[in-house]
Amino acid sequence: MRFFVDTADVAAIAELNDLGMVDGVTTNPSLILKSGRNILEVTKEICGIVSGPVSAEVVAMKAEDMIAEGRKLADIAENIAVKVPLTWDGLKTCKVLSDDGLMVNVTLCFSANQALLAAKAGATFISPFIGRLDDINLDGLELISDIRQIYDNYGFDTQILAASIRTANHVTQCALIGADVMTAPPAVIKALATHVLTDKGLDQFNKDWAQTGQKIL
């Protein structure tokens, strides 16, 4: 499973990229707002840091305008994946841009039927939102499983990009189900290295080492 980082924080992206923990980046209008930077400027900088897909989202509501925005975003760099919402206009945009040979990430997916439509429209990625479904007492991971089965049944090439990842368990379950990609904030990715027994074991090792009175350097 590939790891994308869900942020527009250039420093955080660079840190994870240097460790080999980033295969791509996802951004959205909310993350651009949080960064406080111009969308074209910060997206170009991100594309220069990572070699994998960088999702940049359109903000228009109508297909004609989405297509124009998508083409402008795609001009930023070769590794741009144009991000469009899972609406009828978004699907129209996906079809046009995919036919142009551009990567398209269809976002805000909350049902298997939506994912099926996105695949038929030629989406490179489909982004089901796990955490937001959990928030309304629906099983976000079940959606990932359903999409995986449908795509495998019919040989769709669209990659499942599990989004709205909130916990380490989300990551584990997505990997077990067979999601192609997951995207999560930097803090969630870093939290994958944490385990209470690791901390406990390290604490004991340090106490025992102190009693030896030795030094390595």
Positions marked active-site: 83
Query: How many beta carbons lie within 10 A of that of residue 80, not counting itself?
Result: 22
Residues 6+ apart with CB under 8 A from 200: none
- Quote the tokens at residue 20: 């080999």
| Neighbouring C-beta atoms of residue 191, cutoff 10 Å | 14
Would you state the structure tokens that stand for residue 44, as one six-digit string?
């170009």
The whole-angstrom separation of Cα 89 and Cα 169 is 34
